[in-house]
């Protein structure tokens, strides 16, 4: 019998990952599992070419992004009535797929549930780039969740 004790939901706060969270909540209730919500912030300054010097910085700092993610977690928990679950909220800094896999190993995660797509959500790609890399490299099974209501817009 497969036992699910710890479920990881990496979220970019998109509609897709909201749906993944709904699945995770259902699994968690059935199996009595704990849910780990993880958002990975990236230092946007790393994406600004050296030739551009902006002052004051236009991009939000890692600290600001982390604070915003914590607020977003709070809203997510309230809006989805998740307070009945055992929930842990984590914000990490780095490359999303890498940090997701690192966290899954560290927390001994049994199942990852995530969106097929995220904020970009392009129809012609089968999977978003974060999900594709997590599926390839995760130490545990990955359940990918599509959003049937999402209308893909071709660029």
Contact positions vs Mn ion (CB under 5 A): 118, 120
- 16 touches ligand ATP by CB under 6 A: yes
Q: Closest distance between Mn ion and the C-beta of residue 87, in Å? A: 23
Interacting residue with ligand ATP among 7, 8, 35, 39 (CB under 6 A): 39
Q: Are 48 and 75 in contact (CB under 8 A)?
A: no
Nearer to ligand ATP, 33 or 38 (CB): 38
73 binds ligand ATP (CB under 6 A): no
Among 105, 120, 136, 141, binds ligand ATP (CB under 6 A): 120
Backbone φ and ψ of 39, nearest 5°: -120, 135
Q: Cβ-closest residue to ligand ATP?
A: 128
8 binds, among ligand ATP, Mn ion, none (CB under 5 to 8 A by kind): none
CB of 96 to Mn ion, least distance (A): 7
Cis peptide before 56 (omega within 30 of 0): yes
Q: Which is nearer to ligand ATP, 33 or 104 (CB)?
A: 104
């Amino acid at each position: 019998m497969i036992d699910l004790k710890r479920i990881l939901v990496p979220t970019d706060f998109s509609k897709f990952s909201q749906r993944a969270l709904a699945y995770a909540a259902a699994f968690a209730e059935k199996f009595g599992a704990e849910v780990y919500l993880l958002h990975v912030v990236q230092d946007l300054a790393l994406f600004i070419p050296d030739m551009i010097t902006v002052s004051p910085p236009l991009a939000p700092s890692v600290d600001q992004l982390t604070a915003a993610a914590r607020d977003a977690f709070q809203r997510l928990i309230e809006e989805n009535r998740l307070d009945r679950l055992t929930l842990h909220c984590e914000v990490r800094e780095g490359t999303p797929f890498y940090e997701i896999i690192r966290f899954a190993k560290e927390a001994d995660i049994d199942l990852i549930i995530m969106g097929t797509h995220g904020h970009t959500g392009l129809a012609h790609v089968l999977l978003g780039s974060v999900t594709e890399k997590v599926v390839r490299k995760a130490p545990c099974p990955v359940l990918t969740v599509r959003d049937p209501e999402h209308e893909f817009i071709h660029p």
